[in-house]
């Protein structure tokens, strides 16, 4: 169906007004015409009666007194001379059978009086479209009838009626134009200005990328259902403009944010500004442990423990589909909705992989008032879902990107074989730590560790076994360290440990504990029962006693390590060379 013109509504209103006015005018013209016809008919009757009883009667009496009373034919001729009416063709004829010469010339008139027997003389009778007036002057005079056609009376008033009709039609056309212009001025122009202001504000929201919070103009110049419908349509447009601006903002946050918690917190702030949120929870999937974990939630958004320990009970997590439910349409019993709430659960999908679930509870009363929501009206719910979905999808993409960035960081800073930090990270860490230690005056101990006879172990048992040995040793050393101590693979079979706030004595104690943890490894429990006992040698250096930079400290610890190697391996040695005062080691 082709769209209607913008003025179609105004034209219909104007047409209705003018149509009603035209009907009133037609009724008035019809009534006036009937009154004119009735009046003209009565006037014609009086003229006929006056002609008969005045002119004809006088002429008849003169002829009768002269001794020559006129006959029927003479009376008909006499009547024709006296009965001359304007706009009406009248006749006078005898009622008795007479020669054709005495009959009216009009055949319709002859037919009208044929067989006419008046019940009463001197009174009008309507017959066959004619008005007949039977009369006689005295008993000896022949009965006569005068008559005229009613159509002639109507035809006489038609010009006046036609002129009146044309005048009224012209007035109605003028009235139509005036009413249409008035309706247009009072409705179209204010509506056009209103829509232009709304559209301008929405364009600013879209272009500037920030929602306009100023109160919009109201449709005070129209009332009723039309006002409500227009307001709902424009409110939807306003929401779309704010939606676009908020989406741009969330896109920027998703790109720049490096904290998952901060990203979700910002998402909650945006959704709260646009939707009647009662509760919000963002859950992430831990695939290795087959459980859901709460990343961030509002005070009222906490979910039952069953949801975390048994994620398969969650409809969204189990099916990967969205869920919308209210008190009248319960689908998932694990998160029921209260009577005044609507629950909306969305899967977090990134790279075709389910990474979590977002749960929202919305106030159904506000949805009804502001969105026209009806619990059983699914299309209205789909509109709310259509506005919400892009936010959730963007958040899922942002969370996936942050997780991917963290994975890349870990790959750049950790050793792929052992899972410990790599040499690059430990150098940056030591540089930063020693800078702080120089200002605070706190000591730092550094342990340099090497696996004894690792080359021979590699040659005899193979590199695959050597990799397993390095992983097991790294795991045991990490468990032997204190919280806050940092261990890294320095290269090959060498490891380095940094102990913040520890002097040489504490460093030696920790180093001995690490050495014992490695020496006590039971290789048969690692399915390597054929291996001999594996040991490590450790060198210890200390800041500020043995140096002021990562290079000097690692070099000092390395010298202590080689002294341990020379002294028989499987032992701890502390660097003993102290630099001269004011010099470098």
CA-CA distance, 281 to 348, in Å (whole number)? 12
Cβ contacts of 159 within 8 Å, gap of 6 or more: none
Predicted local confidence at residue 404, as pLDDT:
79
Q: Is residue 495 in a domain? A: yes
Q: Is residue 557 in some structural domain?
A: yes
Regarding whether 430 and 405 lie in a shared domain, the answer is no
Q: 395 and 254 in one domain?
A: yes
Distance CA 64, CA 62 (A): 5
Structure tokens belonging to residue 542: 């200390």
pLDDT in the model for residue 311: 78
Question: What secondary structure does DSSP assign to 118-179, as a single string?
Answer: -SSSSS-EEETTEEEEEE-SSTTSPPEEEEEEHHHHHHHHHHHHHHHHHHHHHHHHHHHHHH
- Alpha carbons within 13 angstroms on the beta-carbon side of residue 346 total 24
Cβ neighbours, 10 Å, residue 528: 16
pLDDT at 153 (0 to 100): 87
Domain that holds residue 93: 8-155
Domain final position from 384, 409, 434: 409
CATH number, domain containing residue 268: 3.30.450.40
Rounded to the nearest 5°, which phi and psi values hold at 91?
-145, 160
In a domain, 171, yes or no: no
pLDDT of residue 5: 42
Helix 72-82 and helix 57-65: axis angle, to 10°?
140
What is the pLDDT, as a whole number, of residue 188? 66
Q: Are residues 437 and 477 in the same domain?
A: yes
Last residue of a domain, one of 116, 140, 155: 155
398/462 same-domain check: no
Closest to 401 (Cα-Cα) out of 242, 296, 250 = 250
Do 372 and 428 lie in one domain? The reply is no
Q: Per residue in 154-168, pLDDT tens?
A: 888 888 888 888 888
Are 121 and 145 part of one and the same domain? yes
pLDDT at position 135 is 86
Q: What is the DSSP string of 85-118?
A: BTTB-EEEEESS---GGGS-SSHHHHHHHTT---
Is residue 451 within 8 Å of 492, Cβ to Cβ? no
Please state, in angstroms and rounded to a whole number, the distance separating the CA atoms of residues 293 and 281: 10
> Is there a domain that residue 188 lies in?
no
Q: What is the pLDDT, as a whole number, of residue 129?
A: 86
Task: Report if residue 209 sits inside a domain.
Answer: no
Rounded distance, CA 39 to CA 437, Å?
Answer: 124
Q: What is the pLDDT of residue 449?
A: 95
Q: At what angle do helices 463-480 and 504-519 cross, to 10 degrees?
A: 130
Given 493, 522, 576, 581, the catalytic residue: 493
CATH number at residue 488: 3.30.70.270
Q: Is residue 166 assigned to a domain?
A: no
Taking Cα atoms as reference points, which of 452, 464, 431, 486 lies closest to residue 561? 452
If one counts the domains in the chain, the total is: 3
Element (H, E) at 337: none
pLDDT tens-place string over residues 116-145: 888 888 889 888 888 998 888 876 678 888
Q: Residue 294 domain-assigned?
A: yes
* pLDDT for position 450: 95
Residues 441 and 492 in one domain: yes
Q: Is residue 38 part of a domain?
A: yes
Distance CA 426, CA 496 (A): 8
Q: What is the SS3 assignment for 291?
A: strand
pLDDT at 487: 94
Domain final residue pick, 155, 178, 195:
155
Q: State residue 379's pLDDT score.
A: 54
Helix or strand holding residue 25 (H, E): helix 8-50
Low-confidence stretches of the chain (pLDDT beneath 70) = 1-11, 13-14, 67, 98-102, 139-140, 180, 183-191, 194-195, 198-234, 236, 288-289, 301-302, 326-331, 333, 336-339, 371-381, 577-585
**Statement to judge: residues 389 and 434 lie in one domain:** no
Q: Is 493 labeled as catalytic in the residue annotation?
A: yes
Assess whether 474 and 354 both reside in one domain.
no
Tokens of residue 119, six digits: 């019940």
- In a shared domain, residues 405 and 437: no
Residue 285 tokens, joined: 């999937």
Q: Which of 356, 360, 346 has its CA nearest to residue 402?
A: 356
Q: Which of 231, 217, 222 is nearest to 369 (CA)?
A: 231
Residue with tokens 């029927």: 72
Q: Which helix H or strand E contains 449, and what residues bound it?
A: strand 444-451
* Strands 536-543 and 572-574, bridge-based pairing: parallel
Same domain? For 374 and 437 the reply is: no
Q: Three-class SS string for 310-328? A: CHHHCHHHHHCCCEEEECC
Examine the domain organization and report whether 393 and 442 are in the same domain.
Answer: no
**pLDDT of 199:** 67
| Segment 338-350, tens digit of pLDDT | 667 888 888 988 8
The rounded distance, in Å, linking the Cα atoms of 110 and 115 is 10
- Is 145 in contact with 135 (CB distance < 8 Å)? yes
């Amino acid at each position: 169906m082709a769209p209607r013109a913008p003025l179609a509504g105004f034209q219909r209103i104007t047409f209705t007004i003018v149509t009603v006015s035209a009907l009133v005018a037609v009724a008035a013209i019809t009534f006036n015409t009937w009154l004119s016809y009735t009046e003209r008919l009565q006037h014609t009757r009086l003229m006929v009666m006056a002609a008969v009883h005045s002119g004809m009667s006088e002429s008849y009496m003169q002829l009768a007194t002269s001794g020559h009373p006129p006959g029927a034919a003479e009376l008909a001729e006499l009547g024709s001379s006296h009965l001359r009416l304007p706009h009406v063709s009248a006749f006078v004829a005898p009622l008795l059978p007479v020669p054709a010469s005495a009959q009216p010339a009009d055949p319709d008139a002859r037919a009208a009086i044929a067989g006419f027997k008046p019940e009463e003389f001197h009174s009008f009778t309507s017959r066959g479209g004619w008005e007949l007036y039977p009369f006689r002057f005295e008993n000896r005079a022949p009965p006569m009838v005068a008559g005229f056609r009613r159509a002639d009376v109507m035809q006489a008033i038609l010009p006046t009626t036609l002129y009146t009709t044309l005048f009224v039609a012209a007035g109605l056309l003028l009235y139509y134009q005036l009413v249409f212009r008035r309706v247009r001025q009072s409705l179209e122009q204010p509506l056009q200005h209103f829509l232009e202001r709304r559209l301008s504000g929405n364009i600013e929201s879209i272009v500037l990328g920030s929602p306009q919070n100023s109160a919009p103009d109201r449709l005070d110049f129209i009332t009723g259902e039309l006002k409500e419908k227009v307001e709902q349509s424009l409110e939807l447009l306003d929401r779309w403009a704010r939606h676009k601006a908020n989406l741009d903002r969330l896109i920027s946050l998703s790109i720049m944010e490096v904290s998952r918690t901060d990203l979700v917190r910002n998402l909650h702030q945006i959704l709260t500004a646009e939707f009647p949120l009662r509760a919000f929870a963002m859950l992430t999937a831990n695939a290795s442990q087959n459980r859901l974990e709460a990343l961030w939630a509002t005070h009222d958004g906490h979910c039952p423990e069953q949801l975390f320990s048994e994620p398969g009970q969650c409809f969204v997590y189990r099916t990967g589909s969205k869920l919308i439910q209210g008190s009248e349409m319960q689908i998932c019993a694990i998160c029921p909705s209260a009577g005044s709430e609507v629950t909306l659960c969305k899967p977090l999908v990134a790279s075709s992989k389910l990474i979590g679930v977002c749960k929202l509870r919305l106030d159904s009363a506000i949805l009804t008032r502001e969105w026209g929501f009806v619990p059983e009206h699914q299309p209205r719910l789909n509109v709310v879902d259509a506005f919400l979905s892009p936010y959730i999808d963007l958040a899922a993409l942002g969370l996936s990107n942050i997780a991917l960035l963290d994975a890349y960081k870990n790959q750049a800073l950790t050793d792929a074989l052992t899972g410990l930090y790599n040499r690059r990270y430990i150098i940056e860490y030591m540089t930063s730590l020693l800078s702080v230690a120089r200002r605070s005056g706190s000591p730092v101990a550094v342990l340099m560790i090497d696996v004894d006879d690792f080359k021979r172990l590699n040659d005899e048992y193979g590199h695959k076994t050597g990799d397993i040995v390095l992983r097991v040793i790294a795991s045991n050393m990490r468990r032997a360290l204190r919280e806050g101590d940092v261990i890294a693979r320095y290269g090959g079979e060498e490891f380095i440990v940094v102990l913040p706030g520890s002097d040489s004595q504490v460093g030696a104690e920790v180093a001995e504990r690490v050495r014992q943890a490695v020496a006590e490894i039971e290789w048969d429990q690692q399915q390597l029962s054929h291996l001999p006992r594996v040991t490590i040698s450790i060198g210890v250096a200390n800041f500020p006693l043995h140096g002021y930079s990562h290079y000097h400290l690692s070099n000092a610890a390395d010298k202590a390590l080689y002294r341990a190697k020379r002294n028989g391996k499987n032992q701890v040695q502390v660097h003993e060379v102290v630099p001269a005062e004011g010099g470098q080691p």
